Structure 1
Amino acid sequence: MAGVSLQCGDCGTLLKSVEEAQEHAELTKHTNFAESTEPVLNLVCSSCGKPCRSRTESDLHTKRTGHAEFVDKTSEAITPISLEAPKASDDVIMEEAGDGSSSSQQEEMVVPEVDQKLLEELEGMGFPKARATRALHYSGNASLETAASWVVEHEKDPDIDEMPLVLLSSKNPEAPKPSLTPEEIKIKQQELRERAHKKKEEEEKQREREREKERIRVGKELLEAKRIEEENERKRFAFTLYILFYLHLKYIYIVYLLDFFCLYFNSMLALRKAEKEEEKKAREKIRQKLEEDKAERRRKLGMPPEDPTAAVKPSAPVVEEKKSSLPVRPATKAEQMRECLRSLKQNHKDDDVKVKTAFNTLLTFVKNVATNQNEEKFRKIRLSNAAFQDRVGKLKGGIEFLELCGFGKLEGGEFLFLPREKVDIAVLNTAGNELNSAINNPFFGVL
């Protein structure tokens, strides 16, 4: 296969034509070139039509513009490389200046041949003929899009509107034969050097801008990552404070609950002890009363006293010699209700659902009477009702609690009835409070 590109032996860059190889040599000082059968890539951006000659150039274009779709038109632009009319380089010009008398190597500058159809289309788009000819020549007559992209990229070149010239051998009789003086050769060399230097500076500036953009992007990403990390740290700190605060409140609640149970347990012990003392005093009084009645009956019957010492024995109770250190007071209505509910729960401690149902049913009866005092249907309960028996009647302590609220048996024990004049709102409120405490307190009846 014939060569379709020139490859630089120093850096491996693929070039389309001899002219590009000469420009590459001027920029990089590389002089080792060889023909290659590998074509130069022609990746055309689908969005803006810019041609890219390598993957690196397409990646750079994507990073700069965001365009990511490219059409591979490499096969359309493949043309065999021509080595017959290379663009004059500095070395060739110097050789011509040093050996200008040789008629066999005499060369002349002529306008390069370009695709006339593409040239007409570019002129129709509004480009000057010189600019269109230069674009088609340096883009290798590949396509209209490639030439237009070349014009856009090189529109700031100082000689963009000058007609390009290439060297042509004097054997061609149709080409004009202008000659260059040594001064013109030096000027041309200086222009080429300046152009190469300017192009190199522009490329360096472009690379610097790309590096600055990349640095800014990386800086923004680092700042965003740092902000996210700080936000996560604040969330973790706030969550830790919430957990600690929650545990602190829970600890305080447990301490208060334990204090409450301790006070409640102590008060219950004191109440039980006072009840036992009161019961003991009552039994002692009854015993003394029986002894006095017995002695009085014997006296009335004329019988001698059973124990002579018993007649003169003082009637003062022995229990009074030892006074209790705890205050003795009768049990209040609330304490009686509480004890009734506690016994109900302890008698049925294996069935919490039934106990809770009984408490809720009693609370419903109490609420109905308290809110509808004039309604007799709320103050009258049929004891033979199956639902009542299942929820309250069969449980020991349920009917007793209603009796403490003021209900009484009526009509031979068939009904529980609370007369209107015996409705005591204070007693009903106390019953409601005790039932609410029994329902909501999970430790009710445990102690």
Structure 2
Amino acid sequence: MSGLSLKCGDCGTLLKSVEEAQEHAELTKHANFVESTEAVLYLVCSSCGKPCRSKTESDLHTKRTGHTEFVDKTSEAAKPISLEAPKPKDDVEMEEAGNGSTSQQEEMVVPEVNQQILAELEEMGFPKERATRALHYSGNASLEAAANWIVEHENDPEIDEMPLVPVSSKKPEAPKPSLTPEEIKQKQQELRERARKKKEEEEKRMEREREKERIRIGRELLEAKRVEEENERKRIVALRKAEKEEEKRAREKIRQKLEEDKAERRRKLGLPPEDPDAPKPSAPPVEEKKSFLPVRPATKAEKMRECLRNLKQNHKDDEPKVKTAFNTLLTFAKNVATNPNEEKFRKIRLTNANFQDRVGKLKGGIEFLELCGFEKIEGGEYLYLPREKVDIPVLHSAGSELNSAINNPFFGVL
């Protein structure tokens, strides 16, 4: 198949002719070109008819105008590429002189446009070539139409090239009424304001799209997390079920082994095999012996351990909060044991936000402090440990129990 384009080996750009390849090489300094059977795209906007030769151009056009429908006419416009180098300008002129009729038919000239509007566009800072092209393709309608055309086509590759039309299509335009300097400034201000509003609307629309995308991604992440947690829960349930089945089979094997050993002992003693259907004698009732040993009361350390165990059991779903409460209680006990004469360490305000968040809201926290010797005073607003009631061994015992609760991973599990 013959080549339909030239492909730049450095950047992958498709080019229609040798002339375009030379221009591309001058602009980018790329020199590696190969013939390609892939045709240059020819996408025509269904709304305004603008041709786009790449997906990037069509995306830019969609972003500027909002037009999304394009007709792919690549197959219709594709034709074998000519690899002949362009002829020098002098040779072209000689050929045109030798064939006068053809040159007259193909003679191209700059289209006539409204000079007054052209001058106004140049005063606004647009190059003459760009202003002429805008006026020609906007139909010389008005300054506003030409400015809008420039905004929509500012990224066209040929935007700053002077347009050329056949002599037969060159039509003079009726002069438009001139505008005063004040009107020109007003028009310029209106155009700038319109361009600014259009840009703001586009930015707001893009922000809404980004927000929708963020919400969608967030929902997908939450759903994925939910599914993962559900699968983990099912896996744990299945694992526990398998463990129970295995334990049941192990017990059954032990029971069978005991039955076999019992039958073997009866055989060795010469006793007949045991009838499984025979009723087994019930065990005689065992008279409960009364114990006359005194019941030892629970020590304060045991009460503290039980208090901490209940605290962890009541809040087993919030392990970090339980650990924070244990560390806070350990700090209280350590401060009092280290500095028993400091009243600030022996007095705690129950309405303190930090205390409530770490200890007060957890069932069992205040009870543990009361076991350490703290008492409620002033209508229950403070916890206070009088200096004469400071029991250092009790505080050391409290610290030991708290250290065990913090460092033992199995504390409170059983």
User: Please, what TM-score do these two structures have when normalized by structure 2?
Assistant: 0.30
User: Please, what TM-score do these two structures have when normalized by structure 1?
Assistant: 0.28
Q: Which of the pair has more CA radius of gyration?
A: 1
